[in-house]
């Protein structure tokens, strides 16, 4: 039997802040999740996006510490259009989240932008650019 990729997990220092951010991007978490140490949101195709508090991780890994520098895992949300990339970016920045890279037309054919979630994780927003005529 081969293991099957099933879950993306993010460790957060503030569950309520993380939930507010990811809900703005359309993820659905159960009511009352702000008070929970672990929450899941089911993604299309059955993949799970999970949030765990730092305390939860330390409950089974007592020496765990958050990384001092940025991680090497990228999260990305596909938008319906280049205009939606711009709108989502503006919405998140106007809500107080850090805009790392303003929307731009990437050489690989996408409108692209990066914001940080409340724990400093880079979250990309992208959409295909219209095909060049």
12-37 pLDDT tens trace: 999 999 999 999 999 999 999 999 99
Q: How confident is the model at residue 133 (pLDDT cuts 50, 70, 90)?
A: very low
pLDDT at 50 over 70: yes
Contacts of 73 (CB under 8 A, 6+ apart): 121
Quick one: tokens of 55?
């305390």
The whole-angstrom separation of Cα 124 and Cα 99 is: 10
The closest of 119, 115, 109, 99 to 52, measured between CA atoms, is 119
The whole-angstrom separation of Cα 113 and Cα 129 is: 13
Whether 115 contacts 129, CB under 8 Å: no
pTM for this structure?
0.88
Which residues face 45 on adjacent strands? none
Q: How confident is the model at residue 132 (pLDDT cuts 50, 70, 90)?
A: low
90-122: per-residue pLDDT in tens?
999 999 999 999 999 999 999 999 999 999 999
Residue with the larger pLDDT of the pair 3 and 47: 47
Identify the pLDDT of residue 37: 95
pLDDT at 131 over 60: yes
Q: How far is CA 70 from CA 12, 88, 96, in A?
A: 14, 23, 20
The closest of 130, 120, 128 to 13, measured between CA atoms, is 120
Q: Pinpoint the alpha helices (H) of 25-111.
A: 54-60, 82-94
Q: How far is CA 118 from CA 6, 15, 27, 77, 85, in A?
A: 24, 9, 15, 16, 19
Residue with tokens 């330390």: 58
């Amino acid at each position: 039997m081969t293991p099957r990729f099933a879950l993306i997990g993010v460790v957060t220092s503030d569950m309520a802040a993380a939930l507010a951010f990811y809900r703005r991007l359309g993820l659905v978490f159960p009511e009352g999740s702000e008070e929970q140490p672990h929450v899941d949101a089911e993604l299309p195709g059955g993949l799970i996006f999970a949030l765990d508090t730092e305390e939860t991780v330390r409950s089974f890994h007592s020496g765990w510490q958050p990384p001092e520098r940025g991680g090497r895992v990228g999260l990305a949300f596909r938008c319906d259009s280049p205009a939606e990339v711009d709108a989502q970016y503006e919405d998140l920045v106007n809500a107080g989240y850090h805009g790392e890279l303003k929307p731009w037309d990437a050489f690989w054919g996408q409108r692209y932008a990066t914001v940080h979630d409340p724990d400093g994780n880079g979250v990309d927003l992208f959409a295909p650019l219209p095909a060049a005529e």
